[in-house]
Amino acid sequence: MKPKLLIIMSFIVFLFTTGCSGGTSTETDPAVISLPATEAQTSFSSTEPVPDMESESGPEPVAISDNTRPVNVFSLCVTLNDSEHKLTVSQNLIYYNNTGTILSEIYFNLIPEAFKNDGGGTQMGDILVAGEKCEMTQVQSTVYKLVLPTNLEIDEKLEIQMEYDVSIPNIQNRFGYQDKVFNLGNFIVTPAMYGADGWMQQPYVDLGDAFFTDIGDYDVKIIVPEGYIVAATGQELEVGSGLYHAENVRDFAFCTSPSYETISETYDGVSIVVYYNDGISQTAEHVMDSAKKSLDLCGEKFGKYPYNTLSLVMNGLTGGVNGMEYPTLVMLSPDPPLEHLIDYGVDLSNSEEAAPYIFQIDSAVCHEIAHQWFYNIVGNDQITEPWIDEGLCRYTEYLYEKAYPPTSVHESTYRLVDRFMDRYAALSGLSAKAGMSYAPDTTDLNQSLYDWAKDDPMGYGEIYDKGASLIYQMEQQMGGEAFDTAIKEFVDRFAFGTVSTEDFVNFWSEKDDFSELFSLYLNR
C-alpha cells in the first residue's frame, strides 16, 4: 500500500457451470461457529480440463523461479447481492500441511470481522472437514481456530469446505462499498501462517497492510448483477464467463461496479486494463502509460513479471491512502485526477506547474506495481516487519523518478533521493559536520503495526522513507551494476516464499560489508 505462473494454460480447475449452490448462511454467535446437520456439500463440480484459451488470454507468463512446495488450492463461488451489500461464498480449500509438524487444528483469519462497526463481518454457515462436521471458535478478534476431526500428518493434505456470507461495510476502503462501487479485498477466510513458534495469531489492525498469507492457487467464479463490470486477480478463462484463475499468488481480490469504463492494451505479453469512472479518461490514459513504464522498470531491475494480466482500478480509497496492492490487481485513488486539475486552473501543458501532481500519480502507480514483486512474489510479514516490502517499493519509486525524470520540478517537489540522503545524514552524523540540523530520527524499523498503532500511528509512514534510504545507501556502497545483479538474485532466492529482517541481513551480508548501515538503520 502507498500512503499519501507460471504455466497457466496447463492446469486443471474446478468449473462452475450452473452458478453457486448453497447460498444461505446462518447467523451465529461470533464466538462459536458450528456446522448445522446437512448432507455433504456439492458446491463444486468435478474437475474438467480447461479449454485452450490462448486466443483470449494472450501468451503464457514467464516464471521467475520454480516453486516445488505444494501450495494451498482455493476454489470459490462468490455471488454479490448489491442491494443487501453482501457476498455469498462457497469455498473449497485443499490445505497442505507444510508446517513441519502434525496438526490437530488450523487457525484462520476472518478480516471482515474487523469492520463490524461499519456494517462488515463474516457469518459462517456450514463447515465440513474431510466430509465431517467441525466447528470454528474465536481466539481473538479476527483470529479463529478450526479443530480437526483427526490429526493432519506432515506433508499431507486436507479438504475443507465452507459456506459463509460476507457483509460489506459502507466505507470508501479497500474492503467496502459506496455508490455501487465495490472494493472486495481480504474477504476470503484464509489460513493463518505457521511460524517457528507455532500458529501466528495476528488480529487485524487498522494501520498499514495488516495481513500475511501464504502462496496459493485460486479458481473463483464471480457472479454479479447484470451490467456490473469486474476487475479481479488473475485471468478470466473465457470472456464473460466470470471464471478466474490465478496461480502462485498470496491473495485474491476483486472490484466491481456498473459505472466502470475501461481502456486496455497488451504490452510485452501482459494484458493491462485500467478501470475508471466519473469520465476521467485522461487520467486513465496517464495511468496506463505509468503502468507500462513501471512494468519495464521492475522487470529490468527485479526479473520479469510472472503473470499475464494487470488490472488498475481507480476506485477511491480513504485516510490519505492513494493506492493498494493485490496480486495482479491495483486499486488507485488519484487525488486529484488530471481532469480536476484543469478545473482548478492548473495548466497541464506547463510541466513546472503540473509536475507535483503528475509525480504523485506516477509514484502511486509505480509503488503498487512494485508490490507485485515485494510482498506478492517475495513475501514478508507485513504485520511484524512492514518496513521490508514498503521500503523496497519506496526505493522503486526512486528508480522510477530516476528513469523518467520530470522535465521540470516544481519547488514543492522534494526528490526522493534528497529525502534518502537527509535521512542518512541525520543518522550518520554527517549533518553535524556540515553544520546542518535535523530532528532526531526516532523511526524504529523493527516495530510492528501493533507497536505503531499503539505508540505513534501518524509516524508509521516514516518506515517507507527510512527503509528505502537503507536500500539506497546499500546500492551506493555496492555500485549500481553489482547491486542490480544482487537484487535480482534476492528476488529469485526468495521468490514465492518469505523473507524476514534476519533473512534480509544475512543475504546482503553475503554481498558486501553492510554492518555499519545495518547498525544505523536496523540497530543490528
Average pLDDT score, the chain: 87
Return the pLDDT at 349. 73
244 closest CA partner among 268, 218, 275, 269? 218
pLDDT band at 320 (very low <50, low <70, confident <90, very high): low
Cross-strand pairs, 449: none
pLDDT at 459 over 70: yes
Helix (H, G, I), strand (E, B) or coil at 76: strand
pLDDT tens readout for residues 90-144: 999 999 999 999 999 999 999 999 999 999 999 999 999 999 999 999 999 999 9
130 versus 335: the higher-pLDDT residue is: 130
Mean of pLDDT values over 301-312: 97
CB 310 within 8 A of CB 295: yes
3-class SS of residue 126 = strand
**pLDDT of amino acid 111:** 98
Residue 434 in this model has a pLDDT that exceeds 60: yes
Q: How many C-beta neighbours within 10 Å does residue 439 have? A: 6
Residue 336 burial class via C-beta count within 10 angstroms: exposed 0-12, middle 13-18, buried 19 and up: middle
Distance separating alpha carbons of residues 439 and 460, to the nearest angstrom: 16
Q: What is the tens place of the pLDDT at every residue in 359-395?
A: 889 999 999 999 999 999 999 999 999 999 999 999 9
pLDDT at 450 over 70: yes
458 has pLDDT over 70: yes
**b (16+ CB within 10 A) / e for 482-521:** ebbebbeebbeebbbbbbbbebbeebbeebeebeebbebb
Grid look-up 522510477 returns 400
pLDDT band at 75 (very low <50, low <70, confident <90, very high): very high
CB atoms within 10 A of CB 100: 9
Mean pLDDT of 459-483: 97
- Least confident range from 160-174, 267-281, 435-449: namely 435-449
CB atoms within 10 A of CB 423: 24
- What pLDDT, on the 0 to 100 scale, is given for residue 414? 67
Asked if residue 21 has pLDDT above 70, the reply is no
Element at 263 (helix H, strand E): strand 261-267
Q: What is the pLDDT of residue 4?
A: 55
Q: What is the pLDDT of residue 364?
A: 94
- pLDDT per residue over 133-185, tens digit each? 999 999 999 999 999 999 999 999 999 999 999 999 999 999 999 999 999 99
Which residue in this structure is represented by grid cell 488498475? 312
Q: Is the pLDDT of residue 492 over 70?
A: yes
pLDDT > 70: what percent of the chain?
84
Flag the least confident range among 277-281, 294-298, 317-321, 462-466. 317-321
Average of per-residue pLDDT across 59-69: 48
Please determine, for residue 30, whether its predicted confidence score (pLDDT) is greater than 70.
Answer: no
pLDDT at 55 over 60: no
Percent of the chain with pLDDT over 90: 73
492, 303 contact by CB (below 8 A): yes
Beta carbons of 509 and 516 less than 8 angstroms apart: no
Secondary structure E strands in 407-494: none
